[in-house]
Amino acid sequence: MPYKNPEDKRRQGTKWMLEWRRAHPEEARRKTRDHLRRWRPKNRDRIKKYNERTEGYRKSWRKRNPEKVRQYQRKRADDVKRYLGGKCYCCGIKEFEFLTVDHIHNDGWKERKKINGRYGKNNAYYQAIVVAFRSGKKREIARIKRRYRLACFNCNAARAYYGKCPHDR
């Protein structure tokens, strides 16, 4: 046996695995994804217990680090706006500060009600959009583009309250 100490054997295996993952990132991601697809359904109760146990820690971390939370939310919102084209579909405004996600079928309230449990309470559809675009799957991206578009706040609000944008007259 080349390793007299089992700890040395474990360290060498870990070192080898890290080197292999760096050399084969796509295959490593695929193997991890496949493993988790098999593991998650069998361990739903363990996942639920873990989430319940760590929820208090996550809430306290958010309270201690509000700037990091804001920074993450801004980055996610900017990513969504970039993925959806970066300008208002109606008037062409490009300032990210004025752009909002517009639900094409005016069913945002239904979606928020349905999706809030999956990604958390705040702007869960932002997370769903990011996940879809980062997956790179054309079908998912097409589905997102059929449901959402970017609109400036004025166009979005006018459409919500009056049924159409003033630019459409």
Residue 66 has pLDDT above 80, yes or no: yes
What digits encode the pLDDT tens for the residues 122-133? 567 788 888 888
Q: Of 167, 137, 151, 139, which Cα lies nearest the Cα of 104?
A: 151
Class of residue 113 by CB neighbours under 10 A (exposed 0-12, middle 13-18, buried 19+)? exposed
Cβ neighbours of residue 141 under 8 Å, at least 6 residues apart? 132, 133
Quickly list H helices, 24-100.
25-42, 44-64, 66-83
Lowest mean pLDDT among 30-34, 51-55, 77-81, 116-120: 116-120
Q: Of 146, 154, 155, 157, which Cα lies nearest the Cα of 104?
A: 146
pTM (2 d.p.): 0.66
In angstroms, rounded to a whole number, what is the distance separating the alpha carbons of residues 37 and 143? Answer: 23
